[in-house]
Structure 1
Amino acid sequence: MSIAPTPTVTLDNRFAREFPEMAVPWQADQARDPQLLVLNEALAADLGLDPAWLRTPEGVRLLVGDLVPDGATPVAQAYAGHQFGGFNPRLGDGRALLMGEFVDAEGRLRDLHLKGSGRTPFARGGADGLAVVGPMLREYVVSEAMQALGVPTTRSLAVVATGRPVRRETVLPGAVLARVASSHLRVGSFQYARATGDVDLLRRLAGSAIARHHPAAADAQHPHRALFEAVAAAQASLVGQWMLLGFIHGVMNTDNMTISGETIDYGPCAFMEAFDPATVYSSIDHGGRYAYGNQPLAAEWNLARFAEALLPLLADEQEQAVAIATESLGTFRREYNAAWLAGMRAKLGLPEGLDDEVATALLDELLPLLQAGHVDHTSFFRRLGTAAHGDAEPTRLLFLDLAGIDGWLERWRALGPDADTMNRVNPVYIPRNHLVEEALTAATDGDLDPLERLLDAVSRPYEERPGLERYAAPAPQDFGTYRTFCGT
């Protein structure tokens, strides 16, 4: 690997320096013939990076880890985690590297992180540490859609084809994703620190999380308790937004819950089409642990594991620490319920001042109608804006139970819903599963046009545009049952 300074990128090795116990210096596998597939030029500019330089051979080498700026120390991060309920004390970046940290154009600290850069000491079993074009482009598309929808998320800076064939079910073209995040601190990071028994490491990690993500906690009477409650509040808001949009993460393991409150790790993720709380798209979630309707409970369970990791910092006596953790954990459910109800009120255009009991009664009647009719989640809420203007027919046509929906619409319209509010929060365009698969299949075969058209649609999700009708339509009947895969 050649090591050279770059004209536009300075990367600090802060994590490696502050947490050597959780950082293994490592090098990315050299890419045989790196070719830039997609570059997020708008994000690069926001980060203070030069998009033109990133397109040069040297810039592309940075994006796959072949070029390391002076002062940087690429590392594989250590973390633990509960995966589908089972605890592993040593997970870590098995196929990823933290290249380093940099300060963006607004003065915020950011991580530059690679996925698919090769096997590390944390790789499990026979894993090769590599990734292929399709799953890396999936993360690019879905994370950018989430950003446009207003959901906190890690961002995709670029996807680079490596020129190296990778064997999965078949031989596929390899790729590396360059990702940007506020940090890669996870609940699993704290679980790892706790599992080592090193309370000083745990305390230092908490201090870093407070300084980087939740600085108000530093001034609280009990900073570590305040940290926990800030993370719980961020996750309540985040998961509430997922639920309002019909997003299903697919792998809500504790190593995939960030301390920052950003969505991370778009593996077997998808947006729900026909409304059903039991919807699962992940090929590995056989029991439905992370089904759409289970996501709030999964988040609460993960936060309980975070509280367990923090117990030595909450009080000297175990019993008192558990009491503090239990009380603080109770804030999540209250904040999630409030976030979800406020979001649903906006999606229905309900006026301010309307009693929550009236809103809840409307929802209690609506959701079973949606489920019984297999109604497309995104289409329903968007069409409901048209119904608020007086034309209910496009909405009625989505349902089997016309009498049921007619009665509901009459009661809802009597409340004077605000269509403009609804159209600001109910998207026209999401990454429809059939369109994502179409784009990824074409890109794997070398055709990036479908990907670019899809990205254009989802980048302005609330603005209905002529010519994009197919991007607003549910999957055709012959698309069949959808399953997504991790791509590992």
Structure 2
Amino acid sequence: MTVHFPFQNTYTALPASFFARVVPTPVAAPRLIKLNRPLAVQLGLDPDLLDSPEGAEILAGKRVPEGADPIAMAYAGHQFGHFVPQLGDGRAILLGEVIDADGVRRDIQLKGSGPTPFSRRGDGRAALGPVLREYIVSEAMAALGIPTTRSLAAVITGENVMRETPLPGAVLTRVASSHIRVGTFQYFAARSDTEGVRRLADHVIARHYPHAADAERPYRALLEAVIARQADLVARWLLVGFIHGVMNTDNSSVAGETIDYGPCAFMDHYDPAKVFSSIDEQGRYAYANQPRIALWNLTRLAECLLPLLSDDKDKAIEEAQTILGEFAERFTSAYQTGLRRKIGLFTARDGDEALVQDLLDTMAKNHADFTLTFRRLSDAALDPDGDTEVRQLFADPSAHDEWAKRWRQRIIEEPQTPAERQAAMRTVNPAFIPRNHRVEAVIEAAVNRDDFTPFEELLAVLAKPYQDQPDFADYADPPEPHQCVLQTFCGT
């Protein structure tokens, strides 16, 4: 049988200025190394047919499936604060859209499938390491319950790509609610194409925010909805110690999903100024800066929408500023609620914010591991003897004691039993995250030895981040000093 994708393509019905039609560049010898079978079923695809030579050719871009309408999307973007009026999909090709089992329209895109008109002298290819990193981290984020693009498949192309050295080439099949970015709006706004901005806004409303179409002011409702989703998303990032690493406006999804996992990383010890990305030399996208940058990006979106908010520019600016002012409250509410839940508080009282901040400050001063501190607090909530396990994470264990005394006085005021509190805390404090040293070990084994056993094992562990997994307990451990990863890199 032939692999069938039930494509329904709406983006290609937009004007030709929105994209460039381009087909993937065939590769020499595609080999499927990972197929996300549950996701394939969710998308209405046959995993057995995808897991075939024909399927591997489609997922590598060697064969275009029937019904596909391959395009590279146009967009612009601020990169580290500097505006570039034309970026676009330089190494990604959108095959088309499908309706999944929940009735949600999803893009299916090949990343690393060859040059496009937007490649800007790039080869349009991807190396195996960045493909594995995005597969691992995006699927881990999904398991953590954080909105994200997903990974359907990873394929080795049988060809090398040139970076600093020759590396095995690969293609990632990425799935997203859409690939529309803040930078997509900027592309048209930079050309003073108000009609293009309007067409794009109408498309985004129809696809992602249909309630806005019924609002008295649809474009205001659109901006409010995007702001709300971004505020919630970034709060969730911080609550698990995630650092995106390259929060350019072209990497900011208007659907509210985490997108473009380049030099991303999860913190080990807590440090609000932590940066991993090798290209973020000034710390623009450091862990604690992410809410501020999200608002900066949303301000750029609001600038694009000004002509749709009012014909009077001053009134449009005033309205946009009012809407943007909602971000801080929305983010703070989501973040503080999440922090309270992480320490077992389910009602809000005066002093709670200071209590949590004092814990974070103590963690930072004592190089305490972010993930393990909260996970072990979950067990300490059941039994005070568990404090011993938490104390061991602090350079000065006694630094934890004063805070723990205040915490215990506070949780007594909550109605939950210790067992109920522990169970609730364990649903928000993961035991397992994609530790950087683990991801690097997976990449090293795959690139240097063609060994994907560590890749499969890490994926299996990360699929159940909130569950104890005694057979894989060491995956929860922070790195030894010699294992610490100091920098992460983009895949271009």
User: Which TM bucket (shorter chain)?
Assistant: over 0.9
Match for 1:117 among 113, 116, 124? 113
Please say if residues 158 and 169 of structure 2, whose CA atoms lie closer than 8 Å, have aligned partners that are also in contact. yes
1:435 aligns with 2:442: no
1:25 aligns with 2:21: yes
* Corresponding position of 1:79: 75
Please say if residues 13 and 101 of structure 1, whose CA atoms lie closer than 8 Å, have aligned partners that are also in contact. yes
Which structure 1 segments of 5+ residues have no match?
Answer: none
1:157 aligns with 2:152: yes
* Corresponding position of 2:222: 227
* Corresponding position of 2:361: 368
Distance (whole Å) between structure 2 residues aligned to residue 243 and residue 435 of structure 1: 21
| Counterpart AA for 2:442 | A
**Structure 1 residue 14 displacement after superposition:** 2.1
Per-residue CA deviation, residues 7-32 of structure 1 (Å, 9 max, x unaligned), is 42132332122232111000111110
Please say if residues 80 and 189 of structure 1, whose CA atoms lie closer than 8 Å, have aligned partners that are also in contact. yes
Distance (whole Å) between structure 2 residues aligned to residue 158 and residue 267 of structure 1: 17
Please give the residue correspondences for 1:209-358 in structure 2 after superposition, counting only pairs within 5 Å: 209-352=204-347, 354-355=348-349, 357-358=350-351
* Corresponding position of 1:69: 65
Distance (whole Å) between structure 2 residues aligned to residue 407 and residue 293 of structure 1: 25
Distance (whole Å) between structure 1 residues aligned to residue 371 and residue 422 of structure 2: 15
**Paired residue secondary structure (1:165):** strand
Please say if residues 8 and 99 of structure 2, whose CA atoms lie closer than 8 Å, have aligned partners that are also in contact. no
Please say if residues 236 and 335 of structure 2, whose CA atoms lie closer than 8 Å, have aligned partners that are also in contact. yes
Per-residue CA deviation, residues 171-193 of structure 1 (Å, 9 max, x unaligned), is 11100000000001110011112
* Corresponding position of 1:52: 48
| Counterpart AA for 2:89 | D
**Paired residue secondary structure (1:350):** coil
Per-residue CA deviation, residues 264-307 of structure 1 (Å, 9 max, x unaligned), is 00110000111001100100000000000100000000000000
Please say if residues 6 and 98 of structure 2, whose CA atoms lie closer than 8 Å, have aligned partners that are also in contact. yes
Please give the residue correspondences for 1:442-481 in structure 2 after superposition, counting only pairs within 5 Å: 442-444=445-447, 445-481=449-485
**Structure 1 residue 198 displacement after superposition:** 1.8
CA RMSD of aligned residues (A): 1.2
Please say if residues 152 and 262 of structure 1, whose CA atoms lie closer than 8 Å, have aligned partners that are also in contact. yes
Deviates more, 1:231-240 or 1:407-416: 407-416
Distance (whole Å) between structure 1 residues aligned to residue 12 and residue 89 of structure 2: 14
* Corresponding position of 1:127: 122
* Corresponding position of 2:417: none
**Paired residue secondary structure (2:160):** strand
* Corresponding position of 1:94: 90
* Corresponding position of 2:418: none
* Corresponding position of 1:396: 391
**Structure 1 residue 201 displacement after superposition:** 1.4
**Structure 1 residue 441 displacement after superposition:** 1.0
**Structure 1 residue 481 displacement after superposition:** 4.5
Please, what TM-score do these two structures have when normalized by structure 2?
0.96
Distance (whole Å) between structure 2 residues aligned to residue 155 and residue 404 of structure 1: 40
Please say if residues 5 and 67 of structure 2, whose CA atoms lie closer than 8 Å, have aligned partners that are also in contact. no
**Structure 1 residue 71 displacement after superposition:** 3.3
| Counterpart AA for 1:442 | A
Match for 1:35 among 28, 31, 34? 31
Per-residue CA deviation, residues 190-233 of structure 1 (Å, 9 max, x unaligned), is 11121222222111110110111111111111110110010000
| Counterpart AA for 2:486 | Y
* Corresponding position of 2:426: 423
| Counterpart AA for 2:169 | G
**Structure 1 residue 6 displacement after superposition:** 4.3
**Paired residue secondary structure (2:470):** coil
Please, what TM-score do these two structures have when normalized by structure 1?
0.97
* Corresponding position of 1:136: 131
Match for 1:193 among 165, 171, 188? 188
- Aligned positions, number: 481
**Structure 1 residue 413 displacement after superposition:** 1.1
* Corresponding position of 2:378: 385
| Counterpart AA for 2:402 | G
Distance (whole Å) between structure 1 residues aligned to residue 175 and residue 364 of structure 2: 37
Distance (whole Å) between structure 1 residues aligned to residue 38 and residue 426 of structure 2: 25
| Counterpart AA for 1:460 | K
Distance (whole Å) between structure 1 residues aligned to residue 250 and residue 85 of structure 2: 11
Distance (whole Å) between structure 2 residues aligned to residue 312 and residue 50 of structure 1: 45
Please say if residues 65 and 99 of structure 1, whose CA atoms lie closer than 8 Å, have aligned partners that are also in contact. no
Deviates more, 1:312-321 or 1:188-197: 188-197
**Paired residue secondary structure (2:189):** helix
Per-residue CA deviation, residues 141-189 of structure 1 (Å, 9 max, x unaligned), is 0000000000000000001000011111111110000000000111001
| Counterpart AA for 1:120 | T
Per-residue CA deviation, residues 377-426 of structure 1 (Å, 9 max, x unaligned), is 00100000121122210001111333331111011011227222111100
Per-residue CA deviation, residues 85-132 of structure 1 (Å, 9 max, x unaligned), is 0001100001110111111122221101111111111112x4211111
**Paired residue secondary structure (2:311):** coil
Distance (whole Å) between structure 1 residues aligned to residue 395 and residue 280 of structure 2: 30
Please say if residues 128 and 156 of structure 2, whose CA atoms lie closer than 8 Å, have aligned partners that are also in contact. yes
Please say if residues 112 and 124 of structure 2, whose CA atoms lie closer than 8 Å, have aligned partners that are also in contact. yes
Distance (whole Å) between structure 1 residues aligned to residue 93 and residue 473 of structure 2: 40
| Counterpart AA for 2:212 | A
Q: Identical aligned pairs, as a percentage?
A: 52
Match for 2:179 among 177, 184, 189? 184
Per-residue CA deviation, residues 31-60 of structure 1 (Å, 9 max, x unaligned), is 100000111001111111100000112111
Per-residue CA deviation, residues 456-481 of structure 1 (Å, 9 max, x unaligned), is 11000000011111100001111244
**Paired residue secondary structure (1:258):** coil
**Paired residue secondary structure (1:415):** helix
Please say if residues 10 and 69 of structure 1, whose CA atoms lie closer than 8 Å, have aligned partners that are also in contact. no
| Counterpart AA for 2:453 | D
Which structure 2 segments of 5+ residues have no match?
Answer: 415-420
Please say if residues 11 and 101 of structure 1, whose CA atoms lie closer than 8 Å, have aligned partners that are also in contact. yes
| Counterpart AA for 2:372 | S
Please say if residues 91 and 122 of structure 1, whose CA atoms lie closer than 8 Å, have aligned partners that are also in contact. yes
